[in-house]
Copies of this chain bind each other. A is one copy, B any other.
Amino acid sequence: MAQKPSIPKGTRDFNPEEVSKRNYIFNTIRSQFEVFGFQPIETPSFENSSTLMGKYGEEGDRLIFKILNSGDYLSKVDTELYDSKDSIKITSNISEKALRYDLTVPFARYVVQHQNEIDFPFKRYQIQPVWRADRPQKGRFREFYQCDADVVGSNSLWQEVEFVQLYDAVFSALGLNGVTIKINNRKILSGIAEVIGAQDKLIDFTVALDKLDKIGEEKVKAEMIQKGIPQSGIDKLQPLFSLTGDFGAQVSELKSILNTSEEGKKGIEELEFINQGIESLGLKTAKLQLDVTLARGLNYYTGAIFEVSAPEGVKMGSIGGGGRYDDLTGIFGLKDMSGVGISFGLDRIALVLEDLGLFPETVTNTVNVLFINFGDAEALASMKAIKKLREHGISTELFPDNKKTIKQFNYANKRNIPFVVLLGESEINSNTFTLKNMKTGDQESLSFDDMLKAIQQ
C-alpha cells in the first residue's frame, strides 16, 4: 500500500549535484593519497561484533549499530536469560555482527589477518562510510564517510613530515588555502603531567587543557583543581597558557618547562624533527602550528597528534585529524606495530567549500548537450549524431519523448544543460545542426564537425 516515504533520522539522500561535489572532494583526496604512495583497501561494512565491541569505550559500544541474527534467533536465547529481558545481555545472544564504527579498528584487524600477505611498511588509504547511533544534530550524522590514510610498520618520523605535506597538498588542491595544521605530541602531554605531579591524572589533565580555547584559562585551572591536580603543579603550567612566538620560540619555552622529564624531552625532539623537515621542504598554502592543548582521543595516540582547522574567518570545527599510535594492532594480538595516520572530515570540508564558493563550476555540469525530439525519424538521425558526440566523451542525451519544444527547452534550462541541438527535417536535408548556446541564447547552423568544435570549446 501507499506509504509516505522517508529515511531514518541521521541519514541522507544525496542528489546528483551533491554526489558530484562529494566525488570531487573524494577524487582530489584519492589522487593525492596515490601520489603519496598510499594504496586503497576496503573492508566489509559489518564486522563480527567481537572485533568492534570494547574498542571504543562503553559509550562507543552503545553507539555501535548491531545487526540482528537471521532466522529464529530468539530460540537460541536460553530461558533464564530471556526471562531477564535484559537488553544489553541479550544483545550478544541475538546479534553477532555490527556495522563499522570507524576505519581504524577494521584496518588493525585487516593488518593482523593479512599480515603474511602485506609488505611492511604498509601505506594504506580507505574511503568508506561508517555508522554511529549518535543523537543526530546539525553536522552530525548516523552514516558518514571517513577518508583515512595510515602507515603501519615503521617508527620513522618522516611519515609525520609526509602527513603534514599530504594535508597541505590536499587542501591546496581543493583551493582551500590557509588551513592551520596544529600539531602536538602525547609525550609532551605526559611530560607536563609528570612535571606537575599529575602522571596518574593524565586524562583528566588533558581533557581540561583541551578546553582552553572554549572556556578560557581560569575555568581550565578550576577544572584541574576539581580533578585533584595540586595548585603547585598548576602554577608550573603558567608558561603553557602564554606560549607565544613562532614554532621555535614556543619549543624553547616548552623545553624549559620539561627539562626534568625524559619523555617530555623526547616529545620535543620529535616535534622539532617534524618542524625542521617542514621548514626545509616548505608548504604550499597551509601553516604548521604547535598547539600544546591539542589532545584528541588521547588514550589512543602515543606520539604526534594532528588537527586541521579551516582558514581564519571560517567557523567550523576541525576538518581533519590524526596521530601516531604505537600499538595499533596489539588488540588483535600483533605486537610492536607502530601506526601513524590522518583523516579528512568530508562533510565539514564540503560545507567549507560551499561557504567559500570553492567548488569548480564544472563539477556539477554533468550533461553538456540535449537533442530536441521532433519524432522518430528525427530522433534516429539525432541518435546517430549523439553516438558520435559520446565517442568524443561529450555527455549528450536525446529528450526521450516528442513533446512540445518549449517543454523540452524548459527541461534543458532547469537542468542547466549548456547546449541544445535542433535536428529537424530541414536540418537533416541540409546535413546541418542548429546549435543553441543556452547561456548566450546564440543559435547557429553548423556542420557536425563545427558543432563538435563549438561544444568542445
Binding site for B on A (CB under 8 A): 2-8, 11-16, 19-20, 23, 31, 34-37, 39-48, 50-51, 62-63, 65-68, 70-75, 82, 85-88, 90-91, 94-97, 99, 109-110, 112-114, 117, 119, 121, 123-124, 129, 131, 133, 143, 151, 154-156, 158-159, 161-162, 165, 169, 277, 280-281, 330-333, 366-367, 373, 379-380, 383-384, 387, 390, 393-401, 411, 414-415
Contact = CB atoms under 8 A, between A and B. Distances in A.
Given A35-B393, A67-B68, 18 more contacts: A3-B51, A5-B109, A7-B47, A7-B48, A7-B109, A13-B110, A15-B117, A36-B396, A36-B397, A37-B395, A46-B65, A67-B99, A68-B68, A70-B133, A71-B87, A72-B87, A72-B88, A281-B383
User: Which of A42, A82, A162, A330 is most buried by chain B, counting CB atoms within 10 A of its CB?
Assistant: A42
Copies of chain A in the complex: 2
A167 B260 CA distance: 71
Given A36-B390, A112-B5, A44 B396 contact: no
A397 B47 contact: no
Contacts of A151: 400
A3 B68 contact: no
A390 B6 CA distance: 45
25 contacts: A2-B332, A6-B48, A7-B48, A7-B51, A12-B44, A13-B42, A13-B44, A15-B41, A16-B41, A35-B390, A35-B393, A36-B396, A44-B143, A45-B129, A45-B131, A46-B65, A65-B68, A67-B67, A68-B91, A74-B87, A121-B401, A158-B398, A169-B390, A277-B380, A281-B384
A16 B70 contact: no
Contacts of A45: 11, 45, 99, 129, 131, 143
Contact of A414 (B119, B131, B390): B119
A7 B85 CA distance: 29
Contacts of A131: 45-46
A75 B46 contact: no
Contacts of A162: 383, 398
Given A41-B19, A90-B74, A2 B66 contact: no
Contacts of A401: 121, 154-156
Contact of A23 (B11, B37, B40, B156): B40
A451 B384 CA distance: 47
A11 B13 CA distance: 25
A17 to B, nearest CB: 9
A154 B379 CA distance: 15
Contacts of A158: 373, 379, 383, 398, 400
Nearest to A340: B400
A95 B87 CA distance: 13
Contact of A5 (B2, B51, B379): B51
A378 to B, nearest CB: 11
Nearest to A370: B37
A219 B37 CA distance: 58
A296 B393 CA distance: 33
A250 to B, nearest CB: 23
Given A13-B110, A87-B71, A40 B19 contact: yes
Contacts of A159: 400
A395 to B, nearest CB: 5
7 shortest interchain CB distances as A-B pairs: A2-B333, A37-B397, A156-B400, A11-B44, A16-B39, A19-B40, A14-B42
A314 to B, nearest CB: 26
Contacts of A367: 37, 39
A297 B68 CA distance: 27
Given A15-B41, A15-B117, A133-B70, A35 B396 contact: yes
Given A91-B68, A156-B401, A383-B161, A366 B39 contact: yes
Contacts of A3: 50-51, 331-333
